[in-house]
């Protein structure tokens, strides 16, 4: 950890004016003859390089240095519902195995619920060394306090070095709560994970609107918590034979205490999930007219896919947010995606670059989307898409 220190003796009205201009976040102010840095500071350290020694960055030695040798293993929280494990759990199991090769640690899975024995058994087909199970009727419905208590009990007893949680609706509630209880950090929506030999987990995610990739390392806290979206990593195939062991954890009565009473529950109607689509027709600002949207729907129907969009179309209330691809939308990994009139900003590209085949239609030869596409069609989408639809219909008619 470190902090910015202002050498107030070097400050005067003239250089203060120039230093204020340096900060891109407007975090520096000059009042009563002194410079001050507000909470708007993002620790970019530009001011330390351009202030002529007025502002310095000083590293601080941690007061309590964690003994990393006491924290071992990479744990994956097993997200499940209705007897089915969310597929992001399998993706994280594969990633955990990859990370564990660097440190030689074991891979754990943690599952909390009621009658989850079958789910625990399934995890043994994905290379998990140990599955820790909290199985109790009190965990049948998700309540944040009991789940946090069980999770915390696991952390205190097993002491995993790293904990990977899927960025599902449940995971996004549970991970911050348990991280805070453990007085540890949490990096949300990681897109890349790397492991150092000293067990420090390098958690990489886009920052500042996707303009930079931030590498976040918790050098002096354990466990290291992170969440990862569905389809960011590849889903492995299950092994032919189960391996590893299932360990039943004791549920104390105090763990089940909750201020929440669930009076009733009902299944949510199945909604459109672009994350599961094999074929996607993605529409951007350059194809946002009503006519082009109709063409996109027709093209998606012909290809057996669904229509998605980029962020500007959600902000313009043309599409619902559940159709949005990107960092602030959903991550997709279809077999085929065709992007119509999409420039391909970093935020969008990060959400779909894992597609098997990417086709881009754009009139701008310099559009960033062309750099990630496997096939490109440069021209007017209003001419290309109708011609493409006609050709597909012609081919289908001949079959």
Of 15, 33, 59, the last residue of a domain is 59
CATH assignment at residue 283: 3.40.50.1220
Q: Are residues 359 and 293 part of one domain?
A: yes
Give a yes or no: residue 200 inside a domain. Answer: yes
**Which domain range does residue 215 map to?**
68-256
Q: Are residues 195 and 159 part of one domain?
A: yes
User: How confident is the model at residue 268, as a pLDDT?
Assistant: 76
Q: Are residues 194 and 146 part of one domain?
A: yes
Q: Are residues 219 and 148 part of one domain?
A: yes
User: How confident is the model at residue 212, as a pLDDT?
Assistant: 78
Match 């990417």 to its residue by tokens: 358
Q: Are residues 209 and 93 part of one domain?
A: yes
Q: Are residues 310 and 217 part of one domain?
A: no
Which of 220, 216, 233, 217 shows the shortest CA–CA distance to 89?
233
Q: Are residues 164 and 143 part of one domain?
A: yes
* SS3 letters across 120-168: HHHHHHHCCCEEEEEECHHHCCCCHHHHHHHHHHHHHHHCCCEEEEECC
Match 């820790």 to its residue by tokens: 132
Is the whole-model pTM more than 0.95? no
Cβ pair 259, 115 in contact under 8 A:
no
Q: Are residues 93 and 239 part of one domain?
A: yes
The token pair that represents 2 in the structure block: 């470190």
Question: What are the C-alpha distances in Å from 30 to residues 11, 13, 39, 161, 300?
Answer: 9, 8, 15, 44, 57
What distance in Å separates the CA atoms of residue 166 and residue 85, rounded to the nearest whole number? 11
Q: Using 70 as the pLDDT threshold, list the residues of the chain that sit under it.
A: 1, 62-63, 209-210, 399
The token pair that represents 58 in the structure block: 């000083």
Q: What is the pLDDT of residues 13-35, one digit of tens each?
A: 889 999 999 999 999 999 988 99
Q: Are residues 193 and 73 part of one domain?
A: yes
Chain-centroid distance, C-alpha 368: 22
What distance in Å separates the CA atoms of residue 220 and residue 218, rounded to the nearest whole number? 6
Going by their DSSP bridges, the two strands 74-77 and 162-166 should be labelled as parallel
Of 59, 88, 105, the last residue of a domain is 59
Q: What is the pLDDT of residues 85-115, one digit of tens each?
A: 999 999 999 999 999 999 999 999 999 999 9
Distance in Å from the first CA to the final CA of the chain:
65
Of 207, 224, 256, the last residue of a domain is 256
Phi-psi sector, 42: left (phi>0), alpha (psi -120 to 50), beta: alpha
User: How confident is the model at residue 167, as a pLDDT?
Assistant: 94
User: How confident is the model at residue 370, as a pLDDT?
Assistant: 92
Which of 359, 394, 391 shows the shortest CA–CA distance to 378?
359
Cβ pair 300, 283 in contact under 8 A:
no
User: How confident is the model at residue 121, as a pLDDT?
Assistant: 96
CATH assignment at residue 55: 3.30.70.20
What distance in Å separates the CA atoms of residue 89 and residue 125, rounded to the nearest whole number? 12
Give a yes or no: residue 161 inside a domain. Answer: yes
What distance in Å separates the CA atoms of residue 251 and residue 150, rounded to the nearest whole number? 7
Number of domains into which the chain is organized: 3
Give a yes or no: residue 262 inside a domain. Answer: no
DSSP H or E stretch at residue 4: strand 2-6
Q: Are residues 87 and 138 part of one domain?
A: yes
Give a yes or no: residue 265 inside a domain. Answer: no
User: How confident is the model at residue 59, as a pLDDT?
Assistant: 82
Give a yes or no: residue 350 inside a domain. Answer: yes
Give a yes or no: residue 179 inside a domain. Answer: yes
* SS3 letters across 179-207: HHHCCCCEEEEECEEEECCCCCEEEEEEE
What distance in Å separates the CA atoms of residue 126 and residue 236, rounded to the nearest whole number? 8
Q: Are residues 108 and 228 part of one domain?
A: yes
Give a yes or no: residue 261 inside a domain. Answer: no
Identify the DSSP state of 39.
Answer: T
Cβ pair 339, 285 in contact under 8 A:
no
Q: What is the pLDDT of residues 286-313, one digit of tens each?
A: 898 999 999 999 999 999 999 999 999 9
Give a yes or no: residue 6 inside a domain. Answer: yes
Question: Half-sphere exposure of residue 353, counting CA atoms within 13 Å on the CB side?
Answer: 16
CATH assignment at residue 224: 3.40.50.620
Q: Are residues 222 and 99 part of one domain?
A: yes
Cβ neighbourhood burial of 49 (10 Å; 0-12, 13-18, 19+)? exposed
Question: What are the C-alpha distances in Å from 296 to residues 40, 103, 351?
Answer: 42, 48, 20
């Amino acid at each position: 950890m470190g902090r910015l220190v202002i050498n107030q003796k070097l400050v005067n009205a003239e250089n203060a004016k120039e230093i204020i201009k340096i900060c891109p976040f407007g975090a520096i102010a000059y009042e009563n003859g002194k410079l001050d840095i507000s909470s708007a500071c993002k620790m970019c350290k530009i001011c330390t390089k351009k202030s002529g020694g007025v502002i310095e960055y000083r590293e601080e030695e941690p007061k309590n240095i964690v003994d990393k040798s006491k924290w071992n293993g990479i744990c994956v929280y097993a997200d499940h519902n209705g007897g089915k494990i969310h597929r992001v759990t399998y993706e994280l199991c594969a990633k955990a195995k990859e990370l564990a090769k660097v440190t030689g640690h074991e891979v754990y899975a943690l599952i909390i619920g009621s009658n989850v024995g079958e789910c625990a058994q399934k995890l043994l087909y994905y290379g998990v060394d140990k599955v820790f199970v909290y199985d109790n009727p009190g965990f049948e419905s998700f309540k944040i306090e009991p789940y946090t208590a069980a999770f915390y009990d696991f952390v205190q007893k097993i002491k995993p070095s790293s904990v990977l949680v899927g960025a599902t609706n449940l995971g996004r509630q549970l991970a911050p709560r348990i991280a805070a209880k453990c007085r540890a950090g949490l990096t949300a929506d990681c897109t890349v994970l790397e492991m150092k030999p000293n067990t420090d987990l390098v958690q990489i995610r886009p920052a500042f609107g996707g303009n930079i990739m931030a590498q976040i390392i918790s050098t002096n806290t354990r466990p290291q918590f992170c969440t990862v979206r569905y389809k960011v990593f590849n889903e492995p195939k299950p092994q032919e034979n189960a391996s590893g062991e299932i360990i039943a954890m004791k549920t104390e009565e105090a763990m089940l205490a909750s201020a929440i009473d669930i009076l009733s529950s009902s299944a949510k109607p199945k909604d459109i999930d672009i994350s599961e689509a094999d074929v996607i027709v993605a529409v951007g600002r350059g194809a946002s007219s009503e006519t082009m949207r109709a063409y996109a729907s027709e093209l998606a129907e012909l290809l057996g896919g669904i229509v998605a969009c980029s962020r500007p179309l959600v902000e313009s209330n043309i599409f619902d947010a559940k159709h949005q691809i990107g960092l602030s939308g959903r991550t997709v990994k279809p077999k085929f995606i065709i992007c119509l009139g999409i420039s391909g900003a970093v935020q969008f590209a990060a959400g779909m670059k894992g597609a098997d085949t990417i086709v881009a239609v754009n009139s701008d030869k310099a559009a960033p989307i062309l750099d990630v596409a496997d096939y490109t069609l440069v021209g007017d989408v209003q001419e290309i898409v109708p011609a493409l639809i006609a050709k597909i219909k012609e081919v289908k008619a001949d079959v």
